[in-house]
Structure 1
Amino acid sequence: MAARKEDARRRSTGASRGVDPPALRRAEWGQAGSASRAEAAADAVAELAAHAAPGTRLGTKDELRSRCGVSVGTFNETLRLLQTRGVVTVQRGPGGGLFAAEQTPMTRLAHSVLALDASRGDVAQALRIRNALEPLLWQDALWHASPADVNDLRVCLEGMAAAAGDADDFVLANWRLHARVADITPNYLLCSLYVALLELVERHALAVRPQAGTPLAQHIRDRWNLHAAMVDALDKRDEETLLRLVAEHDTTAAAGEE
């Protein structure tokens, strides 16, 4: 059903010709179609970087965006993925653009995580490790989040609310919020490992599984309310409440999707 809806949308927007429409609103950047195109573009640029010596100029942002055939909003997500994975560096000004980054041990670790297969064991272990990192991630966010960061998280919550009518879209919007939380930490190791695990789960475990006896719509409302409370606690710098909510989040996520 979701695939048919996406095919129809692509035909109506011209995306079937290889160019997706501009993502004019930030809330649109994390939609399912945009996310998959961003990942495909990131893979294409990563392939260029893999065959280039560290420091090699791959092209300007506009050149690479045009080569990948994606919108400005989608390529912004692509660039975030590439930088988080340590694949490229960005230099501004004359002669600037995207450059192949040195493949550090952390970069190789992230690539190793993404190379895991889609077996239930791999995905389950990735989810378990990701959940174990959640308290560290949210604690870092509480210590380091700026007002702009909190505002972005609230935009992500709006995206989750807008996607509540479609279970798959809701999960993707939820993962966009978690990725944005990861952007806040200054701990590159934590961010890179967490996002690599998040991407592995995202690619292979797209499902909403409410607890037994809970209607799907109620489960989605409960998940949104929990994440909204986590963002509120972060905004108030209420560490005790935030860590309690994170623990509750991880307990329910272990049996569900996010």
Structure 2
Amino acid sequence: MASKSVAAEPSGTTTAASRSHTKKLAELTCEKIEMKIIEMNWPVGEVIGSEADLLAEYGVSRAALREAIRLLEHHNVAYMRRGPGGGLVVAEPDPDAMAHAAAVYLRYRKVTPKALFEARTALEVAAVRSACEHIDEDGIRKLRAALEHEAQFVGGESDATIHDFHTVVAELSGNPALHLFVNVLTQLSAAGFLGATAMFDKKAARSVQASHQVEEVHRTHEAIADAIIAGDAGLAQHRTVRHLNALASALEE
């Protein structure tokens, strides 16, 4: 009896399946390493294993491990240091990069000015209250430095860094979550006023607002800062809400 012939697989099928398998293994390995770093309490600068150590620990191919490391580097979680004493080093995540990625996603979701400023108001009211409670001499210096920076725009055009006052206040809250999310929403607001360029290069985007509007924003920021420095949470919150309402109205025009 003649044996049945076996149809040959289409060229490239095995390779494509292999690549898909490697990618899935890489993603799982990346997640495992991230979890390990979290469980180690994120020891920035510490080497957690050489390539050989990691291959043995996770039992994956060199290709899958290197793809996992590429993902870790992209996420700003860890990076591979070559040479003697090298290995996978725990990195300090970049909050600006994370905020930018979230802002891009919300831009993709076409978040409306109304939704944007509803979220901003809730977050910034909380941030201002906490900043009033935690303000110290270092915080006062940061506020004044932000105001001095934006003062250079009075009488002319501004760039997107005029919005940084809000992220400084959020930083002074002492709450990393508030700081991150206010940063995200402030980037989106800047893009709404100055165009998408503001999300990628704050200094390249120039204001189309009249000089008196820039001056008004600066005066308002000064008033909010004065209330925070005085520790008057109620007044600082009131001024912040009024300011955000004005910005929301201007963005919707």
Query: Structure 1-normalised TM-score?
Result: 0.52
The CA distance in 1 between the partners of 2:183 and 2:147, in whole Å, is: 19
Name the counterpart of 1:29: none
Is 1:199 the counterpart of 2:187 in the alignment?
yes
| Equivalent pair of 1:209/1:255 in contact (CA under 8 Å) | no
* Distance 1:209-1:240 versus aligned 2 partners, 3 A rule: farther
**Larger displacement relative to structure 2 (160-169 or 226-235):** 160-169
Q: Deviations over 1:74-104 (max 9, x none)?
A: xxxxxxxxxxxx9558xxxx99x973479xx
Aligned residues: 169
Name the counterpart of 2:215: 221
The CA distance in 1 between the partners of 2:45 and 2:161, in whole Å, is: 30
The CA distance in 2 between the partners of 1:247 and 1:128, in whole Å, is: 10
| TM-aligned CA deviation for residue 209 of structure 1 | 7.3
The CA distance in 2 between the partners of 1:223 and 1:116, in whole Å, is: 25
Name the counterpart of 1:142: 132
Name the counterpart of 2:170: 182
* Structure 2 unaligned residues grouped into runs of 5+: 1-29, 47-74, 79-84, 196-206
Name the counterpart of 1:131: 121
Is 1:232 the counterpart of 2:226 in the alignment?
yes
- Paired-residue identity, %: 20
| Equivalent pair of 1:59/1:98 in contact (CA under 8 Å) | yes
Larger Rg: 2
* Distance 1:178-1:108 versus aligned 2 partners, 3 A rule: closer
| TM-aligned CA deviation for residue 119 of structure 1 | 7.0
| TM-aligned CA deviation for residue 192 of structure 1 | 2.1
Query: Structure 2-normalised TM-score?
Result: 0.53
* Structure 1 unaligned residues grouped into runs of 5+: 1-49, 61-85, 211-215
| TM-aligned CA deviation for residue 118 of structure 1 | 5.2
* Distance 1:98-1:245 versus aligned 2 partners, 3 A rule: farther
Q: Could you say what secondary structure the match of 2:239 adopts?
A: helix
| Equivalent pair of 1:114/1:199 in contact (CA under 8 Å) | no
* Distance 1:109-1:176 versus aligned 2 partners, 3 A rule: closer
Aligned ranges 1:2-151 → 2 under 5 Å = 53-54=33-34, 55=37, 87-88=76-77, 99-100=90-91, 111-117=101-107, 121-122=111-112, 124-151=114-141
Q: Could you say what secondary structure the match of 1:117 adopts?
A: helix
Is 1:155 the counterpart of 2:137 in the alignment?
no
| Equivalent pair of 2:99/2:183 in contact (CA under 8 Å) | no
Q: Could you say what secondary structure the match of 2:90 adopts?
A: strand
* Distance 1:109-1:232 versus aligned 2 partners, 3 A rule: closer
| TM-aligned CA deviation for residue 117 of structure 1 | 3.0
| TM-aligned CA deviation for residue 178 of structure 1 | 1.3
Is 1:247 the counterpart of 2:241 in the alignment?
yes
Aligned ranges 1:158-173 → 2 under 5 Å = 158-169=148-159, 172-173=160-161
Q: Deviations over 1:155-187 (max 9, x none)?
A: 111111112344342xx2322211111111232
| Equivalent pair of 2:131/2:172 in contact (CA under 8 Å) | yes
